[in-house]
Structure 1
């Protein structure tokens, strides 16, 4: 694979998914409803009224899916555990839910794939939402209990643990502007939700370590912030966006500080930052594109404007394709945090390229191949500049329920026919398999 630099024999190659996006079986084996079940069944919330009721039926088809991952040749699989399968009402234990992840983990190990589990990828038990959800500080103790329950069952076999996924997106889209579950429009008051997620992260780190987990860290979305021009107003807006989007979700963990002090001040207790800043073994970074920022227009309720310049290449979701932003985002993190920055795992990177099977059943998604190759080259540039990156998980292993966009956007290396549940490895799947084999020195 001459178009991708060599990353070394110890570099980790993987794929990622999330429970609500692929599992289906939303009422199987005692699973309780989640906030995404309620949200997706609320008219007007998702494109076409799509829900995750069936998704990719991974709950029943996981054996075939793991066999396909083994054929892909990945070292590791990052999946998320559905909290309402384990604690349908937010407490107690549903053993059948734990049994499923037991089977999944054992199947992965049988195929030589390292289980890499995320405790929370946005599907809170609906019962906890009724008690205030992530606005209620009590959820942090509920989450710690959940982490303990799962860790006690699986920590002996799960290689690495991710606490919460993309606290920034869950905060801003789910609680700030309401376009994701639970659909709240709190504006900047949503930063209290952010604080509770950070605190839940710290408590989960403690609970997982007590259960025997050895490798633990968060996974968050980060972006390079690009001012659209160099006017003072735009530069101020971009700096504030960087604080809200990037630093608010990382400074507390890595430096024990709250970067929005005096701007947005959540209700906190004295020991919170000490818990939040529990040492972690790695930092999971999800990143897809840089974000352009302009000064807020007159009368705006938000003090910055997220813009999409003309003349760029975009994927089918409308996200710009700018690999150099991937490099710079990572270099910026290294420069900002220095020795406080732990080793990095790229836990999500990919794009929506919606090619369908041709008459012969082949999915020719060359655009995904080009995107991935360019971003891997950009990743290698960051590593050459001194950023310690240990692995790359492609998003996603297969097409899935893409949240508010329903089934309209396809991120997968594997095509899913949602009517028949047939899996079709795309051209990108075969390319990634050849890439991994070449990187590992396999024939």
Structure 2
């Protein structure tokens, strides 16, 4: 009897390992090179939502800008998709705004659904994989009126919205993102007055359960698709931050989605400027992306890893450093991605945030775009290429930087991105690189 139990257990273990191995190979791309955007941040013509209400009552106070029409992706999406395709990328991340397609409970706006249908069609026609985000921090005003994410009925309604969208695009190699940065989402819910501190843990529980249910729903409707929720990598304390979400959904992820922006080291503590949204004052340390990847690789050695967001903010488009441009930063970053791949990490994709400048949650001051847009001073909303456009084109074409590449910015002294582990076990800065192809 004992030997039978052991045999059954061993067979089950081997089946699980083999299933995991086949899942690792079941991808439509060898490597996903992408760009990213979100609905509210770029579309303009904003419908009633939690964020629209906050901006409408706050514009002109405490540095909050008028939203206006953002960069008007709603009417310029065809041109923006062409810009993305011109970079040579094979993946385009965008969001479907719940507030836009369901303006009142149970009433679907067919015109707005058709808008997203055409975005999807054009992304596919350009040869790019759609990565679709179902919650990028914005939801309908009527859902806010019923208590927002602290209420289970909001989670139930969001799942019906998700069903509607997944059914439209199932079977077409979509990469699905349920919640964008769940921990930061809930923090910002408090910022906009949509979540009382006393109900924080109720909202957290609802978001966790909504993701778990959405994962099962998506695989029911779109069995071959891949699902994640991208995590904001909280430098220095990420292990603790993951308790709020990732650790509670790790069995409901097909890949680990990571957003990495800011480093930390003994000689660089400027990351704290990001807490006050002064992203341009953070001294960039591209090597931190290696440690972020390594920390998840060590925890989930068989799980594919995808950098869903990474980029560089400037202050209203001003040059950050005389000797370090956006192009320099993206080259250095990709070097560290190739180093991670060479060191055995299962990295499958990288999205640059963002294709164009956009509304950075209250202000147009922080500029992240490969193409810069002056939303406040240029009525034409002209897309102007930064030096990162040809840099990124070259990286995508070549699969990264060449062997022997010399970093524009070397590593800091004793990285603390992954706590003491990144200091005590530093990454090597030489050796062969693995192309990302």
Q: TM-score range by the shorter chain?
A: 0.7 to 0.9
**Equivalence for 2:176:** 161
Q: Shift in Å at residue 137 of structure 1?
A: 1.7
Contact 2:373 2:384 in 1 (8 A): yes
Q: Which residue among 77, 81, 93 is the counterpart of 1:78?
A: 93
Maintained 8 Å contact 2:88/2:397: yes
Question: Could you say which residue in structure 2 is the equivalent of 1:325?
Answer: 288
In 2, the alpha carbon distance for the partners of 1:319 and 1:127 equals 37
- In structure 1, the residue matched to 2:31 is 11
Cα distance in 2 between the residues matched to 1:309 and 1:63: 38
1:416 to 2:373 alignment: yes
Which residue number in structure 1 is paired with residue 249 of structure 2?
Answer: 253
Q: Which of 341, 354, 357 lines up with 1:399 in the alignment?
A: 357
Structure 2: distance between partners of 1:389 and 1:127? 40
Structure 1, 153-162 or 284-293: larger mean CA deviation: 284-293
TM-score (norm. length: structure 2):
0.76
8 Å CA contact 2:270–2:283 kept in 1: the answer is: no
Partners of 1:427 and 1:354 in 2: CA distance: 16
How far 1:94 sits from its partner (Å)? 1.8
- Return the offset for 1:184: 3.8
Is residue 212 from structure 1 mapped to residue 227 from structure 2 by the alignment?
Answer: no
Gap regions ≥5 residues in structure 2: 1-28, 401-434
- The answer to whether the 8 A contact 1:15-1:77 is kept is yes
Cα deviation for residue 337 of structure 1 reads 3.5
Counterpart residue number, 1:29: none
C-alpha displacement at 1:372, in angstroms?
A: 1.7
- Taking a change above 3 Å as real, the CA distance of residues 46 and 23 of structure 1, as seen in their structure-2 partners, is farther
Of 378-387 and 59-68, more deviation after overlay is shown by 378-387
> Could you tell me whether the CA contact under 8 Å between 1:35 and 1:125 is conserved in 2?
yes
Q: Please say if 1:369 is aligned against 2:332.
A: no
Query: 2: CA distance between counterparts of 1:114 and 1:307?
Result: 36
Shift in CA distance, 182/23, structure 1 to aligned 2, threshold 3 Å:
farther
Whole-angstrom distance in 1 between the partners of 2:105 and 2:339: 44
Residue 423 of structure 1 deviates from its aligned partner by 0.9
Deviations 1:319-364 (A, max 9, x none): 331223221222122223344xx21111000010246499xxxxx9
The structure-2 alpha-carbon separation of the partners of 1:52 and 1:211, relative to structure 1 and needing over 3 Å to count, comes to farther
Question: Partners of 1:222 and 1:136 in 2: how far apart?
Answer: 27
CA contact (8 A) 1:21 1:52 kept: no
- 1:431 aligns with 391
The answer to whether the 8 Å contact 2:326/2:386 transfers is: no
TM normalised by structure 1 equals 0.75
Distance change >3 Å, CA 21–CA 13, structure 1 → 2: same
**Partner deviation per Cα, 1:167-205 (whole Å, 9 max, x = no partner):** 011112323xx2xx3454517x52332221111111212
Say if 1:387 and 1:60 are closer, same or farther in 2 by CA, change over 3 A. Answer: same
- Counterpart Cα distance in 2 of 1:398 and 1:195: 34
Q: How does 1:5-44 map to 2 (within 5 A)?
A: 10-26=30-46, 32-43=47-58
Which residue of 114, 136, 143 maps to 2:158? 143
1:43 offset after TM fit, Å? 2.4
> Which residue of the partner structure matches residue 262 of structure 2?
289
Residues 96-115 of structure 1: pairs in structure 2 closer than 5 A: 96-115=111-130
1:347 aligns with 2:308: yes
What's the secondary structure of 2:177's corresponding residue?
A: strand
Supply the distance in 1 between the matched residues of 2:61 and 2:134 (Cα, whole angstroms). 24
How many residue pairs are counted as aligned between the two chains?
A: 362
Q: Say which SS state the counterpart of residue 387 (structure 1) adopts.
A: coil
1:233 corresponds to which residue?
none
Tell whether the 8 Å contact from 1:353 to 1:410 is kept in structure 2 after alignment. Answer: yes
Cα displacement (A) at 1:420: 1.5
Which whole-Å deviations, capped at 9, do the CAs of 1:205-243 have from their partners, x for residues lacking one?
A: 222222225222211211331xxxxxxxxxxxx5xx742
Q: Secondary structure at the match of 1:390?
A: strand
SS in 1 for 2:34: strand
Q: Please state how far the C-alpha of 1:45 moved relative to its aligned partner.
A: 8.0
Matched, 1:200 2:215: no
Give the drift of 1:158. 5.4
Residue 125 (structure 1) shift: 0.7
Secondary structure of the equivalent of 2:108?
coil
Contact 1:40–1:52 (Cα < 8 Å) also in 2: yes
RMSD value over aligned CA atoms? 2.8
Aligned to 1:265: none
Give 1:315 deviation, angstroms: 8.2
> Does structure 1 residue 186 correspond to structure 2 residue 147?
no
Q: Specify whether residues 292 and 435 from structure 1 end up closer, same or farther in structure 2 by C-alpha distance, changes over 3 A only.
A: closer
